Amino acid sequence: MFITVNGIRLHYEVSGKGPAVILVHGNGEDHSIYNETASLLQTEYTVYALDSRGHGKSTGKNDISYEKMAKDVAEFIRILELDRPLYCGFSDGGIIGILAAVRYPGLLKKMVICGANAFPEGLKRRWLFLFGFLGILVREPRVRMMLKEPQISGRELEQISIPTLLLAGEKDMVLLSHTQYLASRIKDSILKILPGETHGSYVIHSRKLYFHIKKFMKDTA
């Protein structure tokens, strides 16, 4: 399905019935990384799996930023009249969720944030070096974005007032200290570092994420 938000065509898939859940993928991916998670969630929730701006079948690749993608999510929720959905975002999708919670208070009910960073230096140096090399080599706007954005301050993180589950792999590309920093700033947050997991091993085409979401929803009911 397609919807026009902020001058672009946003592609999404919807399945299931019940309270709304929004799933947003990471950089260079599309909604299909959540197929396994969505198939489990849809038994209890209406699942909206998005292709974010400039990804998958969505347009806007040459006019991209985390701020604009957060605005896209807010407009998506407004147009479809979703009532404070649960938001789950991985990597770039996690950044988008954090920004949406900061910029649009009251928009979301709860968040699950997987492997996200508040500023580029939250990534391990070898990954920053790799992205810098790729940015020069391929001149890809989505890669260049990661080298300069996001720039979310500690004060902005402290404005988030909804229950938030912060997940990261033990072998994540995000520094452990940075994930701990996010948890220290987001007041109503739960931090889980997942043993043996990498940046996306528990998210991308995995059933594992569902069980973390399920427990979080039960514990914060």
| The pLDDT value given to residue 184 | 98
| The pLDDT value given to residue 221 | 86
pLDDT in tens, 106-154: 999 999 999 999 999 999 999 998 888 887 787 889 988 999 999 999 9
What token pair was written down for 58? 């969505």
| The pLDDT value given to residue 57 | 98
- State how far the alpha carbon of 18 is from the alpha carbons of 4, 43, 132, 193, in Å: 24, 8, 42, 29
Amino acid type, 2: F
Question: For residues 2 and 30, is the Cβ–Cβ distance under 8 A?
Answer: no
Question: For residues 59 and 82, is the Cβ–Cβ distance under 8 A?
Answer: no
- State how far the alpha carbon of 152 is from the alpha carbons of 30, 185, 219, in Å: 24, 11, 28
Question: For residues 131 and 143, is the Cβ–Cβ distance under 8 A?
Answer: yes
Annotation: CATH topology of 2-219: Rossmann fold (3.40.50)
| Residue 214: CA count within 13 A, CB half-sphere | 12
| The pLDDT value given to residue 133 | 83
| The pLDDT value given to residue 201 | 98
| The pLDDT value given to residue 136 | 75
What token pair was written down for 100? 């949406």
Ranges of residues in the chain with a pLDDT under 50 are none
Residue ranges covered by each domain of the chain: 2-219
| The pLDDT value given to residue 139 | 80
